[in-house]
Structure formats: structure tokens, C-alpha cells
């Protein structure tokens, strides 16, 4: 894609009315599918999901989406409104946890390998260190220090169009590994530390997976 000469932000839409002028009204089915609770179907999908994307934002409006993964069902459903995501060993930046503490909101997108339908759960959120709650959750490696609890306000399955278009689960559509930089190469480029070498990064990543994944 070539660089644009004009600033796309300069002519950006600024009202909901301007946006709606460009699109038809949503179908009644698209509005009705939001059930606002975690029914048995939702529980089955969450129990099969090894990956959830967590969207959050800070008090200053900075947005963040981060993956959370574990064994299928690592997200615990507490009742028909609440679920809990156990914390796992990470980079200790605490972006998601800090955002949830600041704003008390989160949006979740549950993925299931090979399935092109996802489950969205949006609502009120908090970070809890309650011992009873943490003990009831299946740990991802080490026992969790905290958990993100989300109280569902919007719950609905998302249509499969994006997965069909992207062919995400189709191995024939995946890029050739050698055509992309490795994880270590990306880290080396972005750390911008002339004292580090690619071998240093590869060794650190290998040791991190061996010692900190559990």
C-alpha cells in the first residue's frame, strides 16, 4: 500500500449520524442474538476455548488487546453472568490488569481452533486477588496471583465472515515461515540495543519458555 498524501484523520467522520448514512440498518437478527448472559451454549464454547482476546482501555483512553491462552476451559464460568480469567506468567507490564483497575470494563473474544464462529462477551470488569476465587480456577502454569472477572452485559456469537475471508485455519493459506522475521529477529529489532545479538535473544527466549512458561 502506497503512502497517502492527505491526512485521513482530517476528514474523519465525527458523528454517529454521519456513520449511519453510509450503512443500512442492522438486521433484527443481529440485534436479537445478544442474550446478555452465559447460557449452556456459551458455557460449552468457553469450555472448548484455549484462547481469549481481552480488550481494555485506560483512564486516558489508550486501548489494548492482549491474548490470554491456556488449556481449553482455563476461563472459569462462575455463574450465568460472571466469568474469571486466571492470570498467568507474562512480561509483567500489567497493561490489561492496570486498564481494568482504572476503568472497570473489558471486552472478550473467545476463539476455538478450527471453528469460524467466535463468542463475544463485553461488560463490567474487575481484578480480584480473592483466595477462594483463585483456588476455584484452573491455573495456567503457576498458581495465579489475580484474575480478571467480567460480568457479562453483552453476550453473542460473532458471524464467521472474517474467518472465511482470512482462511485463518487453512494451512494452505499460511505464509511460508522463512518469508517472515522470527520472534527473536522481531525482538532484536524492536529492543534497539546494540549490545544484544540475535543469539542472545534466541537464548533468552528459549530459557524463558523452559523456565517461565509453567
7-58 pLDDT, tens per residue? 989 989 999 999 999 999 988 888 889 999 999 999 999 999 999 999 999 9
Q: Domain check: are 156 and 208 in the same one?
A: no
Q: Domain check: are 155 and 207 in the same one?
A: no
Query: Does residue 2 form part of some domain?
Result: no
Q: Domain check: are 90 and 64 in the same one?
A: yes
Give how far the C-alpha of residue 64 lies from the chain's centroid of Cα atoms, to the nearest Å: 9
Collect the ranges in the chain with pLDDT lower than 50: none
Q: Domain check: are 156 and 85 in the same one?
A: yes
Q: Work out how many domains the chain is built from and give that number.
A: 2
pTM beyond 0.85: the answer is: yes
Query: Does residue 86 form part of some domain?
Result: yes
- Residue 184: which domain range? 175-212
Query: Does residue 21 form part of some domain?
Result: no
Query: Does residue 13 form part of some domain?
Result: no
Q: Domain check: are 205 and 129 in the same one?
A: no
Q: Which of 60, 78, 93 is nearest to 125 (CA)?
A: 78
How many Å apart are CA 149 and CA 178, to the nearest integer? 40
C-beta atoms surrounding 106 within 10 Å: 24
Q: Domain check: are 123 and 202 in the same one?
A: no
Q: Considering the chain, what is the average pLDDT of its residues?
A: 93
Query: Does residue 3 form part of some domain?
Result: no
Amino acid at each position: 500500500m502506497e503512502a497517502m498524501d492527505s491526512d485521513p484523520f482530517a476528514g474523519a467522520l465525527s458523528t454517529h449520524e454521519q456513520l449511519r448514512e453510509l450503512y443500512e440498518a442492522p438486521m433484527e437478527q443481529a440485534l436479537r442474538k445478544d442474550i446478555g448472559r452465559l447460557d449452556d451454549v456459551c458455557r460449552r464454547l468457553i469450555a472448548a476455548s484455549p484462547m481469549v482476546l481481552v480488550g481494555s482501555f485506560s483512564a486516558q483512553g489508550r486501548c489494548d488487546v492482549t491474548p490470554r491462552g491456556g488449556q481449553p476451559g482455563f476461563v472459569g464460568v462462575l455463574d450465568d453472568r460472571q466469568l474469571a480469567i486466571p492470570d498467568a506468567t507474562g512480561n509483567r507490564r500489567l497493561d490489561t490488569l492496570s486498564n481494568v483497575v482504572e476503568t472497570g470494563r473489558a471486552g472478550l473474544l473467545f476463539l476455538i481452533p478450527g471453528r469460524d464462529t467466535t463468542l463475544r462477551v463485553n461488560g463490567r470488569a474487575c481484578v480480584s486477588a480473592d483466595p477462594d476465587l483463585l483456588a476455584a480456577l484452573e491455573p495456567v502454569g503457576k498458581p495465579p496471583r489475580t484474575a480478571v472477572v467480567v460480568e457479562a452485559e453483552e453476550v453473542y456469537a460473532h458471524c464467521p465472515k472474517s474467518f472465511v475471508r482470512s482462511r485463518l485455519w487453512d494451512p494452505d493459506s499460511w505464509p511460508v515461515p522463512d518469508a517472515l522475521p522470527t520472534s527473536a529477529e522481531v525482538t532484536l529489532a524492536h529492543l534497539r540495543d546494540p549490545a544484544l545479538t540475535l543469539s542472545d535473544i534466541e537464548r533468552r527466549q528459549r530459557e524463558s519458555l523452559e523456565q517461565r512458561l509453567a
